[in-house]
Structure formats: C-alpha cells, structure tokens
Structure 1
Amino acid sequence: MVCCVVTTVVAAVVVLILTVKFIYHYQSGRCTSKTRLVGKTAIVTGASAGIGKETARDLAQRGARVILACRNVEKAERVAEDIKKTTGNTDVVVREVDTSDLTSVRKFAEDILRTETALHILVNNAGMSGMKKRKLTADGLEVTMATNHFGHFLLTNMLLDVTANSVHPGAVYTEIMWKGETNLIKSIFALLVWLMGKDEKLGAQTSIYLAVSEEVNNVTGKYYVDCKDTKVSAAAKDAGLAKKLWEASEQLVKLRPEERHY
C-alpha cells in the first residue's frame, strides 16, 4: 500500500514538472527575424558559455563578425572554434575582458576603438550570481555589482551611443547557477530550473531579437521579456532614482569626459 502511494505521488510530480515545462517553453518568445548581418560587427560579453554563447552563435550564423569578450580566454577560444565549425563563419574572434575589473574594461574598449572600423551590436551578457560574503574588487566595488553593472555601464559608455534596451531571459539553466558560492536553497533552485526552465538556446532568443529584429531598430529604453516589450516596475519608471543611479555609476567608475558618447 505504501509503495503504491509513493509511486502515485512520484508519477504526479513528474506529470506536474512536465506540464509546467511544456507550458513555459510553449509561451517562451522566439526570434523569427531572418536578418542577415554580413558586414556588421557584434560584441557579446560572457560568450564562453550559456546565453552568451548561443547569442554569439546565432549572430555568427547570420554572417556577423563576432567578438567573444570573455574573462577566460582559453575557454572562449574553444567556444569560438565550435561556433566556426557549426556556422561556417570563420570571422569569430576572442578578446579578453573581465567586467569586474574597470582597468580591464577600459583596455578592452580602447583596443576595440583602435582596431575595429565599426561596432553595430553590443550584447552585455556577462554576469554572476550573488555571494554570501561581501567581496570587493581592486576598484573598491562589490564584485557582483562590478561584474553585472559597473563594468557594462563603463563599456557601453565607451563604445556606443546606442539605442539601448534591457532583457530578462527568463528561467534559464546555465553554468551561472553554480558560479560563486552554493547552498541548499540555491542548489534546489538550480535543480528546478534544470527540470522546468529554458535551455541556453531558448534563453538567448530575446537578446538575439533585440540585436537583429527590424521591429526594434529605433527602439530604446525598453524592457523585453520573451521578445515582447514588457511593463516595468514603479521603481524602474522613477526618473529621479534613475538619475541618481546614473550619476552614482559615473562617479564610481570614474567616467572620463572622453569616455562619454551621449
């Protein structure tokens, strides 16, 4: 009797997981644009794994010159070779950058400005999950904020006077789940995302959509989920708060006049 009950419960859980996974995947956005990017140059940070890797692969498939901007150069080189083989595009290169290190970001941006004739797409994808203990970078910034925000803030200012939009990829299972310190709650969350969330290719769709779709050519300052313009929170619409964040970011990265492109 107990065995029968356990089997029933397990079966119900499996059915629930599969149902949630099916619905979530069915509702997920997909980029259907056939835009070609021959003659265009794109940079994808954190492109050695996960969403960044699949975004870079798609842009290369469309004919773009793709620069994998990564901290781990050796790992990125292996990914670049894989992208070349799967897309037939040999114009895929690796450049070193650590978005948690402002000196590294500045060197990378200066190299790009010196060596590339144009830049058309910048995908700020590199990131890390939070840590239990506060850790500071050499610049005196909290390492998670430096990696996820300050480095990309500086990089974007230096490289592009871009339209700029934000993306939420959804619940995507990538190796970022295991970066940084792990605990029981984080491990359970990672397991659930593995069971029911998106894979890397599906998770990359909104980033790809914003990079290539004709529909968003002149759209800026928006927030996208599943390839759709989505409402933001009240805090995100607070112009005063946004101004304070921008000014604080300028101050903390020590943004120089010549680095401003807006």
Structure 2
Amino acid sequence: MESKIILITGASDGIGKETAKTLAKQGHTILMHGRNPEKTKSAYEEVKAESGNNKIEYLTADFLSLAEIRKFADKIKEKHDHLDVLINNAGAQFTNKRETTVEGHEKTMTINVFTPHLLTELLLPLLEKSQSARVVTVSSGAHKMSGKPDLSDIELKNKYSMAKAYGISKLYVIWIMRHFVKEMQKRGINNIAFYTVHPGSAQTSLGRESTGALGTRIIYFLWKVMMNSVAEGAAPSIKAAVSPELEGVTGKYYGLKGEEKPSEKYYTPENEQKVWDYSMNVIKPYL
C-alpha cells in the first residue's frame, strides 16, 4: 500500500488512537491531534512504540476554539506540502446544561459540526495537492434519534438537552460533509473524496463530560457491557481512510458492516443548504 500522510483529530485516546495505531502499522505518516499535551504525547509514544513507525507526529489544540483551529491548520501547512487523508474524529458530548465556548457558540455544535467544517476548509489547499485525497468524518448512529431539527435554532438556545444536542450535531455533520461533495464540483476540485462513518457503540471516553451525574454514570456503566471494542469502532474510519476499493467513490456513509444509509427522515436539499450556510457564517471569520 502506498504510504499516505494522514491527520487524525482526537487521537489521544479511544477510536482516534486505535485508528492511529492501525494506520501507523501500515507504514503511513501519522499526524496525531489531541487537546491535552501530556495525554497526547503519551498516546504518540504508545503508537510509535507499538507500530515501530518513526513517521509519527503529534500536535495539540483546543477544538472548542475556532481561532485555535486556524493556528493548528497553519502549523500543519508549515510542516507539510500536502495531506492525503483528514480524519475528523474529535467529538464530544457535554452536560444537560447548555454551555457556550469563549467565542459564544454552543459547545456540542462547535466541536461536532463547526470544527470539522472549518478544519476541512482550512486544509483543502493541502488536500488538493494529494494525488487522491480523502476526508473521513466520524458521525454517530445517534443522528437517527435526534428528533426533528429546528433550523431556526441550530445552536439550541431553546429546548436544549445533552441527547438532542449530540444527536442533531451528528445529523448536521453528515449534511455538511454531503454538501462538501457538491462544493467540490462547484469549485472544480476533483481529487478529494468525502465519507462519513459511525463506530457503533464503542467503549471510548466520548461521554466524559456528560457522565458527571450519578444516574447518568450508572446507566453508562450498564450500557458499556453491550458496547463494541475500540478496534471494532475504529474499523469504519480505517476502511474509509485507505481502502483501495473506495477509490473513485465519494459521499458515502459507512458503519461496522460496510456501507449504510443515514437517516433521510428530515433531509431535504434545502435543509442541507440551511445548515451549510449557518455553519459557513460561523466559521467565515476564521478562514
């Protein structure tokens, strides 16, 4: 397999770290992102040791800050002249109290929707320089349980709940990445494929922010025994990132058993455009 330069966000633990390990063992150059410097360095050292691959780097950034994402992308551009694969793996659930970032945006929407949208836009110049680039974005089966989206209140200033914010953010990011396919056609960019994936219910630290309450922790503990392994959860991301059989394919959604269909219950081209336009308006100051 031809060696690729692959950036994986949220790679300091869970599915992101497992994805990094597997791809590093295949001989690719791996750029690992994490939020916490100590944790990210530790994950980097673990991946390097287990894979025997010296082509591993790590970078840190807080993806709840859109301004910091711009600086993060600039660092990658300084060190690399192209990028073959971007895996938008970083994501989070928060609490049942609605919280905003320093830039004034709801946290769940920021890290699950605006961040992958912004980072993808910022790294398009590097992806364009690849012979055949891919953008893989991790969504969730929870998008099917989001309920009807209120596109006049995308950041859930009204009727917020942790479950709704998470589910609907994972629906919106599918629409955003689907729209990127159309945008590439408009912009005359023909070498970048877009995929969204879901890991099933994998044993990760995704719910670290949302499991503060005792009742929620008990439910999470009981649910955890039914979850897939992290390796199983990482498989769709790995397949979408490097599988030769996907060459020339774009706009697809993959799960543990291969290609799946995301929920179309609330999808219309108009709704997709509204979410895209809203997100573009949020990220525009950082482009």
Q: TM-score range by the shorter chain?
A: 0.7 to 0.9
Partners of 1:61 and 1:144 lie apart in 2 by 32
User: Secondary structure of the residue that 1:219 maps to in structure 2?
Assistant: coil
Secondary structure, counterpart of 2:193 in structure 1: coil
CA 224–189 in structure 1, closer or farther in 2 if over 3 Å, else same: farther
Tell me, yes or no, if the aligned pair for 1:105 and 1:155 is still in contact at 8 Å.
yes
Segment of structure 1 superposing worse, 181-190 or 51-60:
181-190
Deviation at 1:73, TM superposition (A): 1.7
Corresponding residue number in structure 2 for 1:64: 28
Q: Give 1:1-262 correspondences, 5 Å limit.
A: 36-38=1-3, 40-160=4-124, 162-235=192-265, 237-254=267-284, 259=287
Residue 18 of structure 1: aligned partner? none
- For residues 234 and 253 of structure 2, what CA distance do their matches in structure 1 show? 15
* Distance change in 2, residues 1:219/1:185 (3 Å): farther
Once residues 17 and 215 of structure 2 are traced to their aligned partners in structure 1, the CA distance between those partners, rounded to angstroms, is 27
Structure 2 runs not aligned, ≥5 long: 129-191
TM-score, normalization by structure 1: 0.79
Alignment check: 8 A CA contact 2:95 2:209 kept: no
> Deviation of residue 157 (structure 1)?
1.0
Cα deviation digits, residues 58-86 of structure 1 (max 9, x gap): 11111111111111121111111111111
Deviation at 1:239, TM superposition (A): 1.0
**Structure 1 unaligned residues grouped into runs of 5+:** 1-35
Letter in 1 for 2:253: Y
| Match of residue 12 from structure 1 | none
4+ runs of 1 displaced by more than 6 Å? none
Q: Secondary structure at the match of 1:130?
A: coil
Deviation at 1:135, TM superposition (A): 1.0
TM-score (structure 2 length as normaliser): 0.73
Which letter does structure 2 place at the counterpart of 1:117?
D
8 Å Cα contact 2:40/2:60 also seen in 1:
no
Aligned residues: CA RMSD: 1.7
CA gap 1:89/1:195 in 2 versus in 1, 3 angstroms: same
Shift of 1:194: 2.3
> What SS class does the counterpart of residue 197 from structure 2 fall into?
strand
Measure how far apart 1:184 and its partner are. 4.4
- Name the structure 2 match of 1:16: none
Once the two structures are superposed, what CA deviation does each residue of 1:20-50 show, in whole Å capped at 9, x if it has no partner?
xxxxxxxxxxxxxxxx342x11100000000
Following TM superposition, by how much is the alpha carbon of 1:121 offset from its aligned partner in structure 2, in angstroms?
0.8
Q: CA deviation at 1:236?
A: 6.0
Aligned-pair distance for 1:235? Answer: 4.1
Q: Is the 8 A contact 1:46 1:126 kept in 2?
A: yes
AA matched with 1:171: S
Cα distance, 1:185 vs structure 2: 4.8
Query: How much does 1:183 deviate?
Result: 2.8
Bigger Cα Rg: 1
Q: CA deviation at 1:193?
A: 3.5
State the aligned residue count: 221
Within 2, Cα distance between the matches of 1:186 and 1:208?
Answer: 31
Distance 1:63 1:93 in 2: 13
Say if 1:169 and 1:206, in contact at 8 Å, map to a contact too: yes
CA contact (8 A) 1:97 1:104 kept: yes
Percent sequence identity over matched residues?
36
Between 1 and 2, higher relative CO (CA 8 Å, sep ≥ 6) is seen in 1
